[in-house]
Chains A and B, each alone.
Chain A
Amino acid sequence: GAGVSQTPSNKVTEKGKYVELRCDPISGHTALYWYRQSLGQGPEFLIYFQGTGAADDSGLPNDRFFAVRPEGSVSTLKIQRTERGDSAVYLCASSWGGDTQYFGPGTRLTVL
């Protein structure tokens, strides 16, 4: 079956702009996760949804970052007033009931 998909695969933006990154989880998966991976590092947790609600957003670095999952399926990660330090690969994962997390291909964000 289809895996986790993320769009766009690459996003280049200018400092100060707003960006939205989209994640389509595996069908039927109730939990959805966002991670960020900087060069030479492992993925770092940002936020986790169970259904429509954010169950844990402790990894969001500041209030410029926000994520939604209005219908309990697709999720959008929103970054306001982007900074060069936001450049990274943003990964989405989904799971069924807290079991193994399956990752998407990621969105590479470059802030110029």
Chain B
Amino acid sequence: AQSVSQHNHHVILSEAASLELGCNYSYGGTVNLFWYVQYPGQHLQLLLKYFSGDPLVKGIKGFEAEFIKSKFSFNLRKPSVQWSDTAEYFCAVINFGNEKLTFGTGTRLTIIP
């Protein structure tokens, strides 16, 4: 069965700092990869996704993620964070041919103004 690990449970950064959130998955077959974000009081929203092609994926609000197949990783990055990026971030994976998302436990990001 697929599993997803997000090693950073709570990250605290100052505004303008660079961000990298880790995500690793276990199943080595073909996968589709996602990052979802949940802002305070709001529902889960898609940040970016990877299905195929260029392993460097750009999403909304300046976020990007890189799929490294050999490392089973899909880390999320942003060069300069803003206070409004304060949220919970979830990495999720779908095994090809399947429909169910497997989520990590999430990383809470707090940005200090």
Contact = CB atoms under 8 A, between A and B. Distances in A.
Interface of A: 31, 33, 35, 40-45, 48, 50, 55-56, 58-59, 91, 93, 98, 100-106
A100 B49 contact: yes
Nearest to A44: B103
Nearest to B6: A42
Interface string B83-113: 0000000101000001111111110000000
Contact of A42 (B43, B49, B104): B104
Contacts of A102: 46
10 contacts: A33-B99, A33-B101, A42-B4, A42-B103, A43-B103, A44-B103, A48-B99, A102-B46, A105-B43, A106-B43
Contact of A55 (B34, B42, B99, B104): B99
Interface of B: 4, 34, 36, 42-46, 49, 90, 92, 98-106
Contacts of A55: 99
Contact of A101 (B4, B42, B101): B101
Nearest to B44: A103
